Structure 1
Amino acid sequence: MKRPITGYHKDEQSDWVAELACGHFQHVRHNPPWTNRPWVESQCGRESMLGIELDCIKCERGEPKDVPS
């Protein structure tokens, strides 16, 4: 299911995590050549992606909302 990005935070390893409107979190790493997300490396880039929808596998599985650490 598609869910919009509403914010970001870093995890314990300092990787960026997107916060989705559904309450789930999803890593948004820039790890070429496997994952190409250069926008995640700057504040301006991250802000430009607010509202963009990502596939939320956790919603499809019916998982509970993620809890911020």
Structure 2
Amino acid sequence: MQRAIIGFHRDEENHWVAELECGHNQHVRHDPPWTVREWVTTEEGRRSRLGAELNCKRCDEGE
């Protein structure tokens, strides 16, 4: 299910986590070459993704 990003925080390992409108969280790592999300490395980049949608696997699973 697609859910909007409403904020970001760092986890205990200092990785960026997107906060979704449904109340779930999802890691948004920049981990090339497998995951390229350079936008997550800057505050401006993260701010530009507020309101963007990510697929929430937890909502898909009915949580």
Q: TM-score, normalised by structure 1?
A: 0.90
Instruction: Kindly indicate whether residue 4 of structure 2 is the aligned counterpart of residue 4 of structure 1.
Output: yes
CA RMSD of aligned residues (A): 0.4
Residues paired across the two proteins, number: 63
The SS at the match of 1:44 is helix
How many Å apart are 1:62 and its aligned residue? 1.3
Q: How far apart, in 1, do the equivalents of 2:24 and 2:11 lie?
A: 14
State how far apart, in whole Å, the 1-side matches of 2:59 and 2:8 are.
18
TM-score (norm 2): 0.98
Identity of aligned residues (%): 60
Structure 1 outlier segments of 4+, above 6 Å = none
Shift of 1:38: 0.1
Q: Which residue of 2 aligns with 1:34?
A: 34
- What's the counterpart of residue 47 of structure 2? 47
Give the unaligned 5+ runs of structure 1.
Answer: 64-69
